[in-house]
Every structure is written in structure tokens, then in C-alpha cells.
């Protein structure tokens, strides 16, 4: 496994699964966190997740410049875990970045990384069409990034109720 893409719903156990896969590999563990705390609910969630990961992990906050961070930090003896691409998409939209260019840069970074990379994303397209246009744009962007990374990754797992279903 050089790259693994873990896709799932909210509270599907996708992050836990991805962390367990990372911890099963030898080497340092570096968590690339895309979450930004805009309110108390998010802050509490981020702190709880960091505590849950335990002392074997280092954490780097990467709200935006993810492709560069992957290329700069990937190494043969180090496992990168990116959690998650869906928040990254949201951050990119808020910062008015070029989504197509960023998606392509991410896929290239995953392919060229000098060590194993595990990426987590939400599947958000399986509910009713959202009422507002921004949510629809976000859903489209998240789906496009998921397709691009699934096409690039060596292994893809869909997680439901904590259980993996191999897609690739």
C-alpha cells in the first residue's frame, strides 16, 4: 500500500479505520489536519480527536496548502494521514481557490509522495439535493475530488458502520 483512500459518511468510523491502518504500518505517524475551529463545537471536536489519537502521533495543521505539505513531509519511514479532504474542499471554497487546479495538484502529490499516504473523505452526495446553491456547489466539488483521489489511490475503502467495503 502506497496510497489508501478511505471514504465514508459522518460517524461511519472512517477516521478510526484510517488511523488503525496507519498504526499498523512501521514508522512515524504524521496527522495532517485540515479542520479549522470556527466555533466551540468544532474546537471541542478537534481537541477530542487529537486526544483520542494518543502520543504516537504528531499533528500538522494544513487548512489549505495540502499538496505542498504532502510533498514536503512524505518520507519512506513516515506515514501521512490526511483527515479530511472534505473540510479541505470547504476551506478552499471559502478562500476562493481554484478547485480544479487544487484537485489536480493533490492527485499529483499523492502519486509523487516519497512515502505512504492515507486520505480520508466524506461521501456527501447520497441525500436529497440541498436547497441552497452554495451547498450544491460544495457537494459537486467534494464529489469531484473524491473521484480524482479514488482514481489515483492504490487502494480505496468505503466505510459503513465501522466496517470496510473494498472499492479498489
Question: Which residues of this chain interact with a copy of itself, rule CB under 8 A?
Answer: 5, 7-13, 41, 123-130, 133, 135, 138-140, 142-144, 146-147, 149-151, 156, 158, 160-163, 165, 167-168
Q: Report DSSP letters for 26-61, one per residue.
A: SSEEEEEE-----SHHHHHHHHHHHHHH-TTEEEEE
User: Quick one: 30 or 33, whose CB is closer to a copy of itself?
Assistant: 33
CB 34 to a copy of itself: min, Å: 15
Catalytic residue among 16, 25, 49, 63: 49
CB 101 to a copy of itself: min, Å: 18
Which phi and psi (to 5°) does residue 31 adopt?
-95, 120
CB 13 to a copy of itself: min, Å: 5
Please report where in the chains the cell 512515502 appears, as a residue.
115
- For the chain, the first-to-last Cα distance in angstroms comes to 12
- 51 marked as part of a ligand binding site: yes
Pairing of β 163-166 and β 155-160: antiparallel
d(CA 123, CA 157): 12
- 33 marked as part of a ligand binding site: yes
- 152 marked as part of a ligand binding site: no
- 105 marked as part of a ligand binding site: no
49 in active site? yes
Exposed e or buried b for every residue in 131-149, given b needs 16+ CB within 10 A?
Answer: eeeeeeebbebbeebbebb
User: Quick one: 5 or 31, whose CB is closer to a copy of itself?
Assistant: 5
User: Quick one: 73 or 89, whose CB is closer to a copy of itself?
Assistant: 89
Q: Which of 66, 141, 149, 156 lies closest to 107 in space, CA to CA?
A: 149
CB 157 to a copy of itself: min, Å: 10
User: Quick one: 9 or 28, whose CB is closer to a copy of itself?
Assistant: 9
Give catalytic residue positions: 49
- Annotated binding-site members for GTP: 8-15, 33-35, 50-53, 83
Amino acid at each position: 500500500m502506497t496510497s489508501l483512500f478511505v471514504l465514508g459518511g459522518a460517524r461511519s468510523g472512517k477516521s478510526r479505520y484510517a488511523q488503525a491502518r496507519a498504526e499498523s504500518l512501521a514508522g512515524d505517524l504524521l496527522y495532517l489536519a485540515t479542520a479549522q475551529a470556527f466555533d466551540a463545537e468544532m474546537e471541542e471536536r478537534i481537541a477530542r480527536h487529537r486526544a483520542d489519537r494518543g502520543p504516537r502521533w504528531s499533528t500538522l495543521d494544513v487548512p489549505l496548502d495540502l499538496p505542498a505539505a504532502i510533498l514536503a513531509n512524505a518520507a519512506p519511514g513516515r506515514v501521512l494521514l490526511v483527515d479530511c479532504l472534505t473540510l479541505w474542499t470547504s476551506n478552499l471554497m471559502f478562500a476562493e481557490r481554484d478547485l480544479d487546479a487544487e484537485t489536480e495538484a493533490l492527485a499529483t502529490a499523492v502519486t509523487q509522495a516519497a512515502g505512504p499516504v492515507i486520505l480520508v473523505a466524506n461521501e456527501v452526495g447520497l441525500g436529497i439535493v440541498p436547497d441552497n446553491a452554495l451547498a450544491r456547489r460544495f457537494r459537486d466539488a467534494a464529489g469531484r475530488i473524491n473521484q480524482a483521489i479514488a482514481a489515483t489511490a492504490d487502494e480505496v475503502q468505503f466505510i459503513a458502520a465501522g466496517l470496510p467495503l473494498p472499492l479498489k
